[in-house]
Chains A and B, each alone.
Chain A
Amino acid sequence: DVKVTQSSRYLVKRTGEKVFLECVQDMDHENMFWYRQDPGLGLRLIYFSYDVKMKEKGDIPEGYSVSREKKERFSLILESASTNQTSMYLCASSFASRGAETQYFGPGTRLLVL
């Protein structure tokens, strides 16, 4: 079974704090993704990575950065957390071959920024 894990299920942070969200997958997937999910807006892609040390901006990268130093691990960084970054954050991974590969999601991290 594919397993994608995220470091925290719930986080509470203060405005201006630097926040790290970590994601680990155990299926040797090339691609990894970070999304945020908000009511009425669906899933929106923040960043994705198709290889170690490679990253591409998604639809809403502002205020976020990412790091992929190892194939199995993809980190999302909120440089200076703001209240509008309160959201559910979802990590996903997939194989790269053929293009239309299924994304497998982690359990999510619910972040509250006060």
Chain B
Amino acid sequence: EDQVTQSPEALRLQEGESSSLNCSYTVSGLRGLFWYRQDPGKGPEFLFTLYSAGEEKEKERLKATLTKKESFLHITAPKPEDSATYLCAVYNFNKFYFGSGTKLNVKP
């Protein structure tokens, strides 16, 4: 079954404590993997697109990587304003598959 699984469901970090969020997928024929940030009560905000295994993208404290089976969103020295839900989505030939998200809480 084609699906996208994100782990952990929730993550609490202290400010400055680096960690990684995981997005594993069983979707065949990957054409693109997307990371979004979603704040409470708002729509998802686009962060990164990765197209092939080995690709990496960075933005401020965030770095996304992609292998053939999973993607990681690495957060380096997070700040409280990084608190949000991070969503992963995979696109194959004609459909987007979304994960349920990881809710990140960064304490000062």
Contact = CB atoms under 8 A, between A and B. Distances in A.
Interface residues of B, number: 23
A40 B44 contact: no
B54 interface: no
Interface in B49-103: 49, 51, 87, 89, 91, 93-96, 98-101
B31 A42 contact: no
Contacts of A100: 31-32, 49, 51, 91
A99 B91 contact: yes
Contacts of A102: 32, 34, 46, 49
B43 A108 contact: yes
Contact of B45 (A41, A101, A105): A105
Nearest to B44: A105
Interface string A71-99: 00000000000000000001000000001
Nearest to B33: A100
B99 A42 contact: yes
A105 B46 CA distance: 8
30 contacts: A4-B43, A42-B87, A42-B98, A42-B99, A42-B100, A43-B87, A43-B89, A43-B98, A90-B43, A90-B44, A99-B31, A99-B32, A100-B51, A100-B91, A101-B32, A102-B32, A102-B34, A102-B49, A103-B34, A103-B96, A105-B36, A105-B43, A105-B45, A105-B46, A106-B43, A107-B42, A107-B43, A108-B41, A108-B43, A110-B41
Given A42-B98, A102-B32, A105-B44, 5 more contacts: A41-B100, A90-B43, A99-B93, A102-B46, A105-B36
Interface of B: 31-32, 34, 36, 41-46, 49, 51, 87, 89, 91, 93-96, 98-101
Interface of A: 4, 40-43, 45, 90, 99-108, 110
